[in-house]
Structure 1
Amino acid sequence: MSNMMTKICVSALALSIASEAAATEWNVSVWGKRRAFTEHIHKLAELVEEKTGGEFTMNISYGGLSKNTENLDGISIGAFEMAQFCAGYHPDKNRAITVLELPFLGVSNLDEEVAVSHAVYAHPAVAEEMAQWNAKMLMTSPMPQYNIVGTGEPRDEVAEFDGMRVRATGGLGKAFTAVGGVPTSVTSSEAYQAMESGVVDTVAFAQHAHLSFGTINQADWWTANLNPGTVNCPVVVNIDAYEALSDAEREALDSSVDEAIAYYLENYGKLLKQWDEVLEEKGVEKVMISDEELAKFRDVGGAPIRDAWIEEMSAQGIPAQELYDLVNTTLDEARATN
């Protein structure tokens, strides 16, 4: 009898080891804390686990695996299987997608932001550049147009941006430089401290980040309609890890992207509806910039930066004009279908 029991125990242990070996767990590197910007990653993990009966799970880590500015490096060496990053953190490593961070692209809502991002991500030049980092584009983290919160007197004229120290990265930083601003690219997690200590006068963020990183608590005013552009933050997967998935796991992952994005958009929409209440509650003045002043900003901070980007990227072998045109044709198509 004891011999039989031993055999049963050994068999059970072997089965347990086999099932553990068959299960796939991915580590996912993000930063900050759970917020509207990361909800699609949580939804994706939930859907994948559900579709695979718990055989494919994701361990989402907020800063425990890497610094946000080093997530692409971590993906390239296989330190984790999935990560989120923003193009402006290292524009030299992801040149092709910086087209999406050009100022004044004319993207007017999150649905359009998803459409242009995914169209650019699907371009062969992007796939080729990302492959250098062993990374494959999975989905975007769509953000509304950035606007600035600031301290002191509201700045509602372009001339008042001269000398303004602003936390802004990528194309936004270039746009503010064009009108005399002094951009600094402290990370999102450091923005509150930079504002509190007076290192910057203003911070450019989307609404969720002003809430999540506390900059709204330092603010006296907020520009409601500056809308200079936004940053582009993809979610990528390590190519080796993606190719090592079983067909069923890969299907579960790929087929969950659209639903995860739809969930993100619904969730973000609720936050945008509450925004005015937040401003009122915190006593933050809503600044509206005149059409005349906005036109000045666009003239100086829009077309010249776009033209310089196209010239510089083309010289580096990136099909810059093609990528810029793709953004515009995608916007036209998105508006036609709406």
Structure 2
Amino acid sequence: MKTKVLALAAAVAAAAAFALPAGAQTVEGPKVSWKLSTWGNPRAFTKGIEHIAEVVKERTGGNFTIEIFYGEALSKARENLDGIKLGAFDAAQLCNFYHPGKNPAWMIFTMPFLPIGDWDVREKVTRAMYKHPAFIADMDGWNAMPYMSALLPQYEFLGRGEPPLKLSDWNGKRVRAGGGLGLAMEVLGATRTTVPATEVYTSMERGTVDAASFPYTYAHAAYKIPEVADWFTNNMSPGTSECGTVFSKTSYGKLPEQYKALLEDVLDEAYDVQVQAYIDIDKKNLPDFKAKLQEILYTPEQLAEFQKVAGTPVWDQWVAENQEKFDARGLLNDLLAEIEKAQKGS
């Protein structure tokens, strides 16, 4: 891990104390109050946007505030883009695989085995792709604009019942896995579903879902999945998805320029806070998982075979299914180019 990431703890502590960074200037401006819609409770996933809300309020002397509404208080997770379009709130968090038809280009980040496991690479690539015309076009239809990625970690599975000790054991299992990850699991014979995060606990408890993939380990713990699980995978790392924060174009357009600049200036430290939150929660969760659940580790040979049959073939399948909707092949090429660029610069 690079020095930047290793040194985050001090920055996070300073942020918690609500102290202005050295040399930071108070930003003058009018009273503006935004509402942001999300789901679930405060957790590692929300640390980045929470930090932004804190800093914006502090730097403007309370004149610009972003109030975060948790637990789907303003909108269902699948309907946050609809709420933005209707002007029901000013900002929202979203996950691409909750509504693939609403953000088809964003689904590129669900492709399995993309080489973006490193935090620095992931941040650079995602920030670049948020400016990609295809990503912007997806959001234009909802009067939304991309702002900040939640930089989800790689996914792993927690499950109930017979553990999949071999990849062939996934055959017939009902799994919560969206997008390209879901397609990859179908290659193994699993049946995929896209149950919202807030409904996974009940689905597993009732036996309608055998296993659930979440960003590892924070989301499993946040949604209390270990309480209804018997086992977990610890080295499958088949991919991730893309969740993040978008702004209403109308609300953003009304902001004074100094507030827009402030939202841009705070991004670097917010991404640092976001990454550190995942690192910290893993240190707490992983020992608990190992103590309570059966750990499943696949051999390098098994993982290589999985990647062979469910990596590039799934990418090609996704391109074929979407090429008539937009330049899916061009988008994939652009993403791979950004990954290569970020890896060389790391």
TM-score under structure 2 length normalisation: 0.88
* Counterpart pick for 2:162 among 141, 153, 178: 153
Cα deviation 1:35-70 (Å, max 9, x = unaligned): 000111110101111221211001100111000010
Cα deviation 1:74-132 (Å, max 9, x = unaligned): 11111100000000011111111111111111222333222222221111122122111
The reply on whether 1:120 has 2:129 as its aligned counterpart is yes
**Which position in structure 2 is the counterpart of 1:102?**
111
* Counterpart pick for 2:221 among 204, 211, 218: 211
**Which position in structure 2 is the counterpart of 1:260?**
270
- CA shift for structure 1 position 221: 1.3
**Which position in structure 1 is the counterpart of 2:333?**
325
2:144–2:246 contact (8 Å) kept in structure 1: yes
* Counterpart pick for 1:226 among 222, 236, 251: 236
Which segment drifts farther, 122-131 or 157-166?
A: 122-131
- CA shift for structure 1 position 301: 1.9
**Which position in structure 1 is the counterpart of 2:17?**
none
* 2-structure distance, mates of 1:72, 1:151: 33
SS at match of 1:54: coil
- CA shift for structure 1 position 331: 2.0
- CA shift for structure 1 position 297: 1.8
The reply on whether 1:89 has 2:98 as its aligned counterpart is yes
* Counterpart pick for 1:298 among 276, 296, 307: 307
- CA shift for structure 1 position 290: 1.2
2:35–2:69 contact (8 Å) kept in structure 1: yes
2:221–2:285 contact (8 Å) kept in structure 1: no
Which segment drifts farther, 221-230 or 325-334?
A: 325-334
Give 1:249's aligned amino acid: Y
**Which position in structure 2 is the counterpart of 1:186?**
195
Which segment drifts farther, 21-30 or 126-135?
A: 21-30
Cα deviation 1:143-191 (Å, max 9, x = unaligned): 1110101123321222111001111111111111121101111110010
SS at match of 2:82: helix
Give 1:201's aligned amino acid: D
**CA RMSD, 1 decimal:** 1.5
* 1-structure distance, mates of 2:324, 2:108: 15
The reply on whether 1:276 has 2:296 as its aligned counterpart is no
SS at match of 1:66: coil
Which segment drifts farther, 144-153 or 67-76?
A: 144-153
2:218–2:285 contact (8 Å) kept in structure 1: no
The reply on whether 1:198 has 2:207 as its aligned counterpart is yes
SS at match of 1:237: strand
* 1-structure distance, mates of 2:281, 2:338: 26
**Structure 1 residue runs of 4+, over 3 Å off?**
none
**Which position in structure 1 is the counterpart of 2:19?**
none
* 2-structure distance, mates of 1:253, 1:51: 11
1:120–1:323 contact (8 Å) kept in structure 2: no
1:163–1:181 contact (8 Å) kept in structure 2: yes
- CA shift for structure 1 position 71: 0.4
- Tell which structure's C-alpha radius of gyration is larger: 1
**Which position in structure 2 is the counterpart of 1:39?**
47
* 1-structure distance, mates of 2:259, 2:152: 28
The reply on whether 1:336 has 2:344 as its aligned counterpart is yes
SS at match of 2:42: coil
* 1-structure distance, mates of 2:277, 2:159: 26
Q: Which runs of 5+ in 2 are unaligned?
A: 1-28
The reply on whether 1:71 has 2:108 as its aligned counterpart is no
* 1-structure distance, mates of 2:120, 2:95: 19
